[in-house]
Structure 1
Amino acid sequence: MNVIVDADACPVKDIIIEETEKKSISVILVSSIDHYSMTIEPSHVKHIYVEKGNDAADFKIVALVKPGDIVVTQDYGLASLLLPKKVIVIHHKGFLYTDENIQGLLQTRHFSALARNSGQRTKGPKPLTKEDKKKFRQLFLSKLVTP
């Protein structure tokens, strides 16, 4: 099992790195080269940078995953591509993407995009709270399998 993170804007990387280090589970952070960092990561963490471009990180993640891996992303489209690959996909707010909820999430995203394109203002995501981080940590820990 690997944990693969859609890392460009992931607000729970610190939790992921902390919890996987305790269990000796490998983490792969996938980011656009636009988000290059000189940060030295722990030995169980590998950072892969991809070229600029819409969905470049998503395509890399899809190519990397294997059944049983965990992917952390806030991207509903990426989640929809990963579910058929038998990957555990977690949102940073502490919920699982499932076959049962993905269509509704994609429809909501689509209707919001239509509204924005027609000039309407839509609300952005709510700020991440301490409760969200707690929910994420609990769910994430429940899905980690020690090698």
Structure 2
Amino acid sequence: MQLFVDGDASPVKQDVIDLAEKFGLTVQIVTSVDHYTTREYPAFVSMTYVDKGQDMADFKIVSMLHKGDILVTQDYGLASLILPKARVLHHTGWEYTATNIDQLLASRYHSSQLRKAGHRTKGPRPFSQEQRQAFRELLERMIKEELAKHQKQ
């Protein structure tokens, strides 16, 4: 099992790295070359850079991810592609599921249509410590569940 981060705008990269270290897992951070960094990461963290362009990181993640992996993303479209393969969570501390993904995609489409018609829509609220804590708790629980599944196999 690996942890993947859709890294372009993720505020929880360090949280993922901390939990991966605790459980002895590897982390794949996939991001556009626009977000290139010289920051050094531990050996269990790999940075994968993709060319500029819409959805390039998404395509790379889809090609790299395997059954049983966990993905962190705020992209509803990417989450919908990954759900049949792996578990997906949002950085604010909730899990994408087959039950909620259709509503999330419909809401995104509706907001897009409103913006095209000239209406303003609200953006996300600032990322809070409560959201960070909810994310960490959910990710840790997911890791434990997935590790337990692998031990039974």
> Could you state the TM-score of these two structures normalised by the residue count of structure 1?
0.97
Which amino acid in the other structure matches residue 67 of structure 2?
P
Which amino acid in the other structure matches residue 143 of structure 1?
M
Residue of structure 1 in register with 2:142 after alignment? 143
Whole-angstrom distance in 1 between the partners of 2:83 and 2:14: 25
Which amino acid in the other structure matches residue 124 of structure 1?
G
1:101 aligns with 2:100: yes
SS for the counterpart of 1:38 is: coil
Which amino acid in the other structure matches residue 30 of structure 1?
V
Whole-angstrom distance in 1 between the partners of 2:15 and 2:101: 25
1:9 aligns with 2:9: yes
1:73-106: CA deviation from partner (whole Å, max 9, x where unpaired)? 0000000000122x01000000000000000000
Which amino acid in the other structure matches residue 105 of structure 1?
L
Which amino acid in the other structure matches residue 53 of structure 1?
G
SS for the counterpart of 1:5 is: strand
> Could you state the TM-score of these two structures normalised by the residue count of structure 2?
0.93
Could you list the runs of 4 or more consecutive aligned residues of structure 1 that deviate by over 3 angstroms after TM superposition? none
Whole-angstrom distance in 1 between the partners of 2:79 and 2:129: 24
Alignment of 1:52-71 (within 5 A): 52-71=52-71
Segments of structure 1 that go 5 or more residues without pairing to the other structure are none
Which amino acid in the other structure matches residue 73 of structure 2?
T
RMSD: 1.0
Residue of structure 2 in register with 1:82 after alignment? 82
Which amino acid in the other structure matches residue 34 of structure 1?
D
Residue of structure 2 in register with 1:27 after alignment? 27
Q: How many residues align?
A: 146
SS for the counterpart of 2:19 is: helix
SS for the counterpart of 2:67 is: coil
Segments of structure 2 that go 5 or more residues without pairing to the other structure are none
Task: Indicate the percent of aligned positions where both proteins have the same amino acid.
Answer: 48
1:23-61: CA deviation from partner (whole Å, max 9, x where unpaired)? 110000000001000000011100000000000000000
Which amino acid in the other structure matches residue 131 of structure 2?
D
Whole-angstrom distance in 2 between the partners of 1:32 and 1:57: 6
